[in-house]
C-alpha cells in the first residue's frame, strides 16, 4: 500500500512539474529571465504547502545535516528556498531553449576553465562530477556554446515526463543525453565518449541503492555511487567537479574545480572507495556553502535494499 501511494505521489509530482513547464512555454517566450524568479517562488511555495511528504523529507534531511548548526526557523526558510529552486531549474531549461544563447546562457561566467583544458590535453576524456545543485541542467548547455562535446548520463527515476522534456531541450542545446538504463548500453556510451576525449557528466549525489559505498556525508553514513571512480580508474579520465551557482536567484557562475585525485595502489577495490570518498567530500563541501541550492529530496541516508 505504501509503495502504491509513493508511486502515485511521484506520478503526480512528475505530471505537475511537467505541466507547469508546458503551460508556461508561451508566457516564457515573452518574459525576461528575471521574471522566472517570482514565478518559481509562487509555484515553489505552492508545492511546499501542498506536498506534505516532500516538505517533511526536505526538512528532515536539512535537520539531520544542520540540526546542531541551524534552528527550526532557519531550516524552514532553507526548505522553502529548496522548493523554489526545484521549480526554477526546469523553467530555466525551457527558457534557455526558447531564447537566444546570448540573452541567457552567455551571461553565465565560466570559472576554472583552465582545469578543463588541461585535463583534455591528456586525451582520455573528462568525467564531470555533477550534483543536483542550482541549475545543474544548464552545465552542458553552457559548455556546448564554448565548443565542448558534452555527454550526460541521467536517471529519470520517478520523473520520466520531466526528464524526457529536459532531454529534448538538452539535445537541441548541443548535448548528448542518455539514460542510465539499460546499464550495458549506457556503459558503452560512457566509455566511447571518454575515448573520443569528450566530457561525460555524471550526477553522484544520490543514494546508491545497490553497490554503493558507505561513506560519511554530513556526519551520517550514506551509500554513495561509485560510477565516477570506477570509470576514472579504468580509463584514466580525470574527475572535475562542475556546477552552476545562482546569485540573486539567477544563474551566474559555472564553476569547474581542480581534478579529484588519489595515490593509486595495487588494491583496485580500495582505490574505488578512496576516490569515491574524496569526491563525496567535495560534494558535501559545496553543498555546505550553498545549502538552499541543493535539492535535499533524495533519501540520502536510507539503508539500501540488499
Distance in angstroms (rounded) separating the CA atoms of residues 100 and 84: 25
Cβ atoms of 150 and 175 within 8 Å: the answer is: yes
**Residue 152 backbone phi and psi in degrees, to 5:** -130, 120
Nearest of 166, 172, 175 to residue 242 by alpha carbon: 175
Cβ atoms of 80 and 44 within 8 Å: the answer is: yes
pTM listed for this prediction: 0.88
Neighbouring CB atoms inside 10 A of 192's CB total 13
**Tens digit of pLDDT per residue, the chain (306 long)?**
545 545 554 565 656 666 666 666 777 788 888 999 999 999 999 999 998 999 999 999 999 999 889 999 999 999 999 999 999 998 888 888 888 777 789 999 999 999 999 999 999 999 999 999 999 989 999 999 999 999 998 776 656 666 677 777 778 778 898 888 888 999 999 999 999 999 999 999 999 877 899 999 999 999 999 999 999 999 999 999 999 999 999 999 999 999 999 999 999 999 999 999 999 999 999 999 999 999 999 889 876 555
Question: What pLDDT score does 160 carry?
Answer: 66
> What is the sign of the dihedral through the CA atoms of 191, 142, 154 and 245?
positive
Neighbouring CB atoms inside 10 A of 236's CB total 12
Question: What pLDDT score does 2 carry?
Answer: 44
Say if residue 272 is preceded by a cis peptide, omega within 30 of 0. Answer: no
Question: What pLDDT score does 20 carry?
Answer: 64
Amino acid at each position: 500500500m505504501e509503495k502504491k501511494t509513493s508511486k502515485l505521489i511521484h506520478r503526480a509530482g512528475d505530471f505537475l512539474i511537467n505541466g507547469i513547464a508546458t503551460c508556461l512555454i508561451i508566457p516564457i517566450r515573452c518574459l525576461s529571465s528575471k521574471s522566472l524568479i517570482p514565478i518559481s517562488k509562487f509555484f515553489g511555495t505552492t508545492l511546499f504547502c501542498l506536498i506534505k511528504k516532500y516538505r517533511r523529507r526536505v526538512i528532515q534531511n536539512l535537520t539531520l545535516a544542520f540540526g546542531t548548526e541551524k534552528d527550526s526557523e532557519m531550516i524552514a526558510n532553507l526548505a522553502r528556498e529548496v522548493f523554489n529552486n526545484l521549480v526554477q531549474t526546469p523553467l530555466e531549461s525551457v527558457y534557455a531553449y526558447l531564447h537566444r544563447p546570448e540573452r541567457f546562457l552567455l551571461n553565465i561566467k565560466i570559472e576554472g576553465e583552465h582545469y578543463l583544458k588541461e585535463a583534455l590535453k591528456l586525451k582520455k576524456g573528462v568525467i564531470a562530477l555533477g550534483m543536483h545543485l542550482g541549475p545543474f541542467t544548464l552545465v552542458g548547455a553552457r559548455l556546448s556554446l564554448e565548443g565542448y562535446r558534452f555527454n550526460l548520463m541521467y536517471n529519470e527515476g520517478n520523473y520520466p515526463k520531466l526528464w524526457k522534456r529536459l532531454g529534448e531541450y538538452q539535445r537541441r542545446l548541443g548535448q548528448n543525453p542518455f539514460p542510465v538504463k539499460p546499464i550495458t548500453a549506457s556503459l558503452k556510451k560512457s566509455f566511447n565518449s571518454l575515448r573520443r576525449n569528450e566530457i561525460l557528466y555524471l550526477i553522484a549525489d544520490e543514494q546508491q541503492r545497490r553497490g554503493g559505498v558507505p561513506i560519511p556525508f554530513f556526519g551520517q553514513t550514506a551509500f554513495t555511487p561509485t560510477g565516477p571512480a570506477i570509470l576514472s580508474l579504468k580509463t584514466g579520465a580525470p574527475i572535475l567537479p562542475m556546477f552552476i551557482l545562482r546569485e540573486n536567484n539567477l544563474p551566474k557562475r559555472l564553476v569547474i574545480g581542480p581534478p579529484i585525485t588519489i595515490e593509486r595502489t595495487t588494491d583496485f577495490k580500495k582505490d574505488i572507495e578512496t576516490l569515491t570518498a574524496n569526491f563525496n567530500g567535495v560534494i558535501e563541501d559545496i553543498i555546505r556553502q550553498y545549502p538552499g541550492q541543493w535539492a535535499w529530496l533524495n533519501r540520502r541516508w536510507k539503508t539500501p535494499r540488499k
